[in-house]
Structure formats: structure tokens, C-alpha cells
């Protein structure tokens, strides 16, 4: 998983990683919001979901202490990180200001 994750986040396209867990209620709330964000942003951003229970080393590497946590990667570097559920417009604003 690690090498493919690195390959994904170092792409030319910005990558928003959603660290989530199956048992997490707020994560379920965030999922459809992220789908709307993807629909609005199109090819400008990739959205990737990472299950923290299946990938604990990745969660630890990026200091994900709670779920959901979103991290925006640009050319492999984390440029923004936020825990909790954000609304679509807030996420869009953050993405646009970082792209």
C-alpha cells in the first residue's frame, strides 16, 4: 500500500486524502460531501479514501489522530490538513486556494 500511496500523492494532480473508518459516523456524513466536491472539481483534484484500520502505518505517518481527517497533497507534500466534517463550499474554497 505504501508505494502505491506515494505514487498517488506525488502525481501532478492535487490529491485530497480522506482518512476514515467503517465505524465512524461523521465519516459517513463526509462521504457524499466529498462526492459533490469531486463532481464540482472534476479532473483538478483526485480524492482518495484510506481506511485507518487497514492502513495504521499511513495514519501514524501523517499523524491522523481522529477520523475523518482530510489531507491535501500537492506534488507529494501535505499542504493542508483538517479533522472533522466540513461543508462542500468550505472544502471547495480550501482546494481552490491551494491549487
- 8, 13, 21, 24: the catalytic one is 24
| 24 labelled catalytic | yes
Given a contact cutoff of 8 angstroms between Cβ atoms, the answer to whether 50 and 59 are in contact is yes
Vertex 48, ends 58 and 2: CA angle to 5°? 30
| 3 labelled catalytic | no
- 14, 15, 27, 64: the catalytic one is 27
The β-bridge partners of 82 are 70
Catalytic residues: 24, 27
Amino acid at each position: 500500500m505504501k508505494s502505491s500511496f506515494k505514487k498517488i500523492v506525488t502525481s501532478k494532480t492535487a490529491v485530497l486524502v480522506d482518512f476514515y473508518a467503517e465505524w465512524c459516523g461523521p465519516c459517513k456524513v463526509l462521504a457524499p460531501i466529498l462526492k459533490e466536491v469531486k463532481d464540482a472539481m472534476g479532473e483538478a483534484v483526485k480524492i482518495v479514501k484510506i481506511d485507518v484500520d487497514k492502513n495504521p502505518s499511513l495514519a501514524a505517518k501523517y499523524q491522523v489522530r481522529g477520523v475523518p481527517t482530510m489531507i491535501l497533497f500537492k506534488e507529494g507534500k501535505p499542504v493542508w490538513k483538517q479533522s472533522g466534517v466540513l461543508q462542500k463550499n468550505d472544502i471547495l474554497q480550501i482546494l481552490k486556494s491551494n491549487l
